[in-house]
Structure 1
Amino acid sequence: MLIATAVLYWGALRKGRGTKTETTRPDMVILLRDGEVVDFTPDAPDMLDQPDLCGLLWDDLRGEFIRRFPETPDDLPQGTMKLIAQDDPDTILSISSTGPHTRLSIQSKPINAGQMHRLARDRGQLETFRYISQNNPNPVWITNSAEVVTWGNSAYFELCDQVGEPGDESCPFDLAPATTNTARTSRLSLPINDNTRRWFEVLSRPIPEGWVHFATCIDGLVEAEMAQRNFVQTLTKTFAHLPIGLAVFNRDRRLVLFNPALVDLTYLSVEFLSSKPNLFSFFDQMRDNRMMPEPKNYTTWREKIYDVISAAREDRYNETWNLPSGLTYKITGRPHPDGAVAFLIEDISAEISLTRRFRSELELTQSVFDCFEDAVCVFSRLGVLTFANAAYRDLWKADPDGAFAEVTIVDTTRDWQNACEPAPIWPELREYVLSLQDRSPWEVDLRMTNGQQLRCVIAPVAAGATMVRFTKVSRFSPQVVRMRNDSIAATE
């Protein structure tokens, strides 16, 4: 066997070192025994950029050959095979096997000075690309058809050290086997320690010798997605207990979000809402359920929907619907990002009923006080005139409801003072109305400039307010007689 190997080797070297011709150059030759390199010509190590090829296996050589000879077989063939380089038809790879011995040779035409210059330039670019790939902060690696790692950059092996994997043959990423020869993207996580996992997005692209994989760390993206998911869950729980109906339509005017209150308020079925109806179908169904005011003209109503959408997108849609059932709904449109629109439906029937009842009670109270002969007015804790009956308006020739600004105790006492004869009570009255301390009722007699005698009673009422009542006194009433006697006694 040693003699046969020597003969084969001598023949290969003799052929590889034959006389140069103008059209070819000496073959590069590699000899294998049992699939392992045993000898080679001096130029063969340049192919693999290694000083010594002895001990390399066929799989190691095949990974290099397949770059230019895609039809390189997985296993060494028996007999002779010639393959043409895909980038140069004049370059031929010859494989000759006899028993355990195999001779590999590459024959090509000599290159001229221009081609030599281009190769030197390409070598410089190759060194640049090699530097870039090795210093890429993201892990990059190559696997062959058997999913064995054949190359990896520095970031890849640093990641392997962090997860405790060798990385030189098996990959720490559990990638699913490729089913098609197309690029694919995978999202995977690796345990760095007991409490930490790092997330990566791996882009795998097919290449002649297998697959090249690019891993990008997406920890920030995963954390953002988790925060968004938690936020959406929180909103969902909040919306589920919200008494206001919520309907969100995307930019295509399809319903994408609703809460249980919307089902209760509109009587629309969950099946219908889950089918993502468009905005027109949504309002049409509400109209059929008599859960919105009946439009006088249906065609005009359909056109009005566009105005509703436009108003909602500009945050100016706000309407009150009085339904045939007696309920009252408040509808509000709000713009959302990316052209979406949200509608809020609120049942304000109780609020409207309370407002109407309160207004009715106020009107009743006003009508009752208007029947009084005494002039009555009420000031709030802040000294603002909040109520006055008809007798008050007639006595003081005032119309507080018609004033543009709030009428205060300062304004009214000034009017009273101008309409009455001089009296020292006005500062005291103003201080009494604005006082925050406990107060007791008191009264005082006044005389108007027209001679009308008045009895003024000032008393505190609820919520810190003050009521002032003016009673007209006739000339022969006991009060007037007493007032006249007091005046005479004072002059004597």
Structure 2
Amino acid sequence: KAREELLKFTTWLDTHAAADLKDALDELFGYGRPFTLFLKTAAGGHLEADGRATGARAVLRLRDVAGTKQDLVRILDQHRRLTREIRVSRALMNTLPIAVWMKDDDGHLKWVNQAYVSAVDAATSDEVYDRQLELLESRQRSTLETSLKGARAFSKRLPLLIGGERKAHDVFAVETDEVIAAAAIDVADLETAKGELDRQLMALDRTLDRVATPVAMFGRDGRLTFHNEAYQELWRLDPAWLAQSPSDGEILDRLKELSQLPAMADYRKWKVQVLSCYQSSLELEDWWQLPDGRMLHVVAAQRPDGGVTYIYDDVSERLQLERQYNALIQVQRETLDSLKEGVAVFATNGRLQLFNTAFLSIWRVNRVRMEQGPHIDEVIDGLKVLFENDDVWQSMKEVVTSITYQREAYTGHMERADGSYIDFAATPLPDGGTLITFADVTASKSYERALIERNEALEAADRLKSQFIGHVSYELRTPLTNIIGFNELLLSPYGGALTDKQREYLGDISSSSRQLLSIIDDILDLANIDAGGLELAHEPVRIKPMLDDLAGVAAERASGEGILLDVAVADDVDSFIADESRIRQVLDKILSNAIGFSHPGGEVRISCWRETGLIAFSIADNGVGIPEEEQERVFERFVSHSQGSHHRGAGLGLSIVKSLVELHHGSMTLVSEPDKGTTVTVRFPIDGRHLGATHDADAEA
């Protein structure tokens, strides 16, 4: 057991001694190398360890050291310690960014650190020693050596050439035991920073001199070191006197003499309180009511250098604005309370910020509770008593609490449990808040319901009227067709001989019957259009043949009235997709009106041309024209105006024309001037691609 304890070297030997003994034993066991060591124990004593190989065995002898050997051991320990310290010190200096070097009494470089090697552009320290590469110039070295002879210490800022650039360095040197140790610290960045600081301070002074707020700076001795122009203008002090750097107390005394300080019962006590900022790091803040009525907000703050900076902010205008603002707020509140609509404004944190009396009345909530600024959730809980739709309240809450930049307004209406109707609108405000308004529309809702019921009754009556007219017109068409047929039979040779008078009567019957048949057809077409049952064909319409045919039919009537009929078709016009029969019907009725309202000897012109994606037809006359106040009504049903002409009708022509044009997704314009004529222009899509969709949409309507 004692042998095992002995072999645990780390328990009874110094750490370094235990490591040395272990290494020596490894050499002895491995290679048979003998050793003699002096070991330091953990208790501070010393032992001599002797290791030898004897045959196949290794022998370790430990002897206590005494006498001369003990002195030798102490010297060896001190040597090891000094060696470690030198090694550590040099390792540390090699890591520093400061050039360090040592010279012997002959002036030769004996040791340099890595920063020195880099500074003289050498590869290694050996190169520095071999070539004796100096960092300082000869004159600088002479100055350093001369200074060391007298004071044995040197400290000076010198410009050193390093890396091709001359930079300022603080050079320190000491001489001990005829060995010179020196170091050079790069202070170029420090000088740059100091220069920059000086420039910033100058810029700050210039800036403060331009600001409108009075500023004064006093040194730690209490004397004025800086003031801007606003400070001088505030107190109206003599610039020459301020240039003498008076003390803070002297300035206060001068202002007291000039009656520019606030009125106070004890000036001395007040002055001591003001000057106490030099002894306290706390910021002094005070309000000075000057004799001329101005109000100053005075802030005195101690600077790191012990001086004090005063800022005098004239808040007279701001206080006046605050009073005006408070007055406006009061006016706003009175205005809101006079509104019939309930108003509630929520802040960005979702809490009620503002409300009016109408809001309390509409929702029957307690004013005291609302004045506490409850959150939107609490407000909704109180309002749910009269309206429990969670979806509406949730949507309204999202407008109030949403954090997105693009909040959208939310509007709607509520039918409450008490039978009342409330219209509401939640509107985001520019400051991030939300305005919610509630309007009690119970009375108007009752009127609206009555109007809706009346309108539905009128619509039903109109439908019955249309159905009745359509039914009657259809029933009239059959006997009327028979009358026309029998009338034509009588006029034919098969009907026998007729007198001239009889033939005239039969001609009048035929003309009147066909006119009546045309009116009935128009009524049936309008009824079909209203019912959405009018089918449109989808076919190519050749324009020139159609216009020639229409002009040929109308030419007989026009020539009887001495009216000139002219047709002008552009060269690039060919065909378009539409219902040809309905297009003929449209143009025929417009042409019939143009001839009917023309003076004898007048002119009617039919024109056709292409526009972008459209075909345009224009029929113009120089007849009686239409007054401006009547032009809007000519498209209404059963509205007829003879305008002094012999043309009469049921007032359905232009009405059915407009309906047919709109079914084709076209447009129609009328330009007229009394005694100068009328121009009607209709435009249709060339490709007719909307015809099917038009019919379906109208049918659904």
**Superposition TM-score, scaled by structure 1 size:** 0.50
Q: Which has the higher helix share?
A: 2
Query: Which structure carries more relative contact order (alpha carbon 8 Å, separation 6+)?
Result: 1
Larger Rg: 2
